[in-house]
Structure 1
Amino acid sequence: MTPPVVRVRGRSRRRTSVAAVCCYKTGENARLIYRPRHHLLLKGARKSFSWQDYRDLLVRAHIQLGGPIVVVWDNLNTHLVAGLKRYESEHDWLTTVRLPSYAPHLNPVEAVWSLLRRATANTALDTPHDLDRKLRQLRRIQLRPRLIAGCLTATGLAIDPPTPPS
């Protein structure tokens, strides 16, 4: 059997990164809050989220949840930079907890990425816009609070598990 061949029509100088948080508020449905970031791959330009991008995601979560938040960070180097640590210490609505060094099973967002990979498996993308359309799968996950609740409770970290919608 001949392996499949995927033809690529040129190289894009654009890269898309996505960061997300799985969260819940007692008595409410679980939520997925995510933020895509489009980068142009220019010489010397950052190729991933900066600490300011993660800060903005936390602010968005704080606004949407309408109260203090507890963030469980993995040990991504960007989560450990001085600017983000300083921001965390300056805001009393934000409490952070660090996961052990390698613990993807304790990170509910890893389960979300797994769901996204299943939805986009074996897909060849011709343009960056095709990727944007595929990322809309996150919106479908976002609209299914039971999936997000499952991602949270599978970690064993949920103190008060979210109530599934009836």
Structure 2
Amino acid sequence: MSERDFIALVDGTHQLIKAPIVLVRHRLNTHASRTIRELTDAREWLTVFPPPAHSPGLNPVQGVWAHVKRSLANLAVVAPDRLETLAHNRTKHLQYRPETPDGFIAGTGLTLDHPASPRRAEVSNGSRGRD
């Protein structure tokens, strides 16, 4: 996925949900390029936080994939496209059981409180643009 593809995905998600987005982006070099930083900084509705180094336990997606993999573990799949359909159905099922993904978030020890993002903190305390 190119940098432009990534931003198109983020923009499309923002248009779909019509709400600000808080993105926790891992520290892979391609995700921290100057181009990505410039593109994400240009979006007032997007707040980006890098997790601490080596912190898979803080990523609720790890719980989601572990849950999906467990549900697929004992299935015999004849064709790869069938596996894709099954995985899609399993993740779609989570949409209708919000307590399950909430548990993955709770398992990280993180909260869903509104964080004071660096960008918003600068605006709210009046320090942005004043020197």
Give the structure-2-normalised TM-score. Answer: 0.72
2:78 alignment partner, SS class? coil
Name the SS of the counterpart of 1:87 in structure 2: helix
Letter in 1 for 2:101: I
Letter in 1 for 2:66: S
Q: 1:98 to 1:139 in 2, by over 3 A?
A: same
Which of 120, 125, 128 matches 2:72?
A: 120
1:153 aligns with 2:119: no
Aligned residue in 1 for 2:35: 83
SS in 2 for 1:154: helix
Judged with a 3 Å threshold, the aligned counterparts in structure 2 of structure 1 residues 72 and 87 are, in CA distance, closer, same or farther, namely same
In the alignment, is residue 63 of structure 1 matched against residue 21 of structure 2?
no
| Shift, 1:148, TM fit | 1.2
Greater relative CO, 1 or 2 (CA 8 Å, sep 6+) = 1
Secondary structure, counterpart of 2:108 in structure 1: coil
Could you tell me which runs of 5 or more consecutive residues in structure 1 were left unpaired when the two chains were aligned.
1-48, 162-166
Task: Measure, in 2, the Cα distance between the counterparts of 1:143 and 1:104.
Answer: 25
Q: 2:92 is matched with which residue?
A: 139
- Could you tell me the percent identity over the aligned residues? 33
List, as ranges, runs of 4+ consecutive aligned residues in structure 1 with deviation greater than 4 Å: none
Residue 33 of structure 2 corresponds to residue 51 of structure 1: no
1:53 and 1:109 mapped to 2: Cα distance?
Answer: 21
Count of residues in correspondence between the two structures: 113
Bigger strand share: 1
1:159 to partner: Cα distance: 4.0
Corresponding residue of 1:110: 62
Partners of 1:124 and 1:146 lie apart in 2 by: 28
Flag structure 2 segments of 5+ consecutive residues without an equivalent: 115-131
Determine the C-alpha separation between the residues in 1 that align with 2:49 and 2:83: 32
Cα pair distance change 1:78/1:134, threshold 3 Å: farther
